[in-house]
Structure 1
């Protein structure tokens, strides 16, 4: 499975691995939230039902304000049942981790349509959860491919940041 990279900037990096849309977040932005929304809608149009989403929240990422939260959950309400699973991997500890988990849970509660959801402390755990809920064509999604895709998105963010510094 190959990674189709979309947006890469200082706030986030996003891309598709088959039916799974991955977003690595280091900040907030309305443009990036709208990109997420458009890509999820495009994924539903492209793949049909059963797509998934992995949000990786890196330590120190500011919590999204209410307007951005609404944009993020909008796709779940517009196309009920299309998303087979969502996982949020929060790698931060202490208060940060607790705050991210609270916001992520609240986001999923804002959605009027229930979506299989898991909070996780690691990308590996999230990838395993999603592999059972997101079908890659006729074969299960490979957790190792998801982990590799997250590493590549992080690498592209670091490379972009180093070039702009």
Structure 2
């Protein structure tokens, strides 16, 4: 099982890490911790994977659940004010500025919207996103369009 797990880890770690980044507003260290938690769960439950979906879809579902659980717990802690985030963004270079701004805008989205757009940014097909989120493909198609409009407006207007 360890060789199988190693292959799964190597194939999916970068995608899981990037997805976690979206949930933690670009915090690299926290994203790495969450990705580690995801793969601990994958290791613990790999023998229970029923292959009703692809292994990637299963891992994304674990990632989304792990990140949402973290966010629920983290809401009890003090969050950065928009002023503090804005100050950090202004210190970055222009490219880093836009990336940071995009994460802030993604962070403002509703939970379901955030899940959908992060999976889109990972390059997942909309049909697979529908499977992961439990929505219809048509619903995902419409939501993606609306989410992109919101993000464009948010990034254009600044934080």
- TM-score surpassing 0.5? no
The TM-score normalised by the length of structure 1 is 0.30
Whichever of the two has the greater Rg, that structure is 2
The TM-score normalised by the length of structure 2 is 0.31
Which is richer in helix?
A: 2
Which is richer in strand?
A: 1
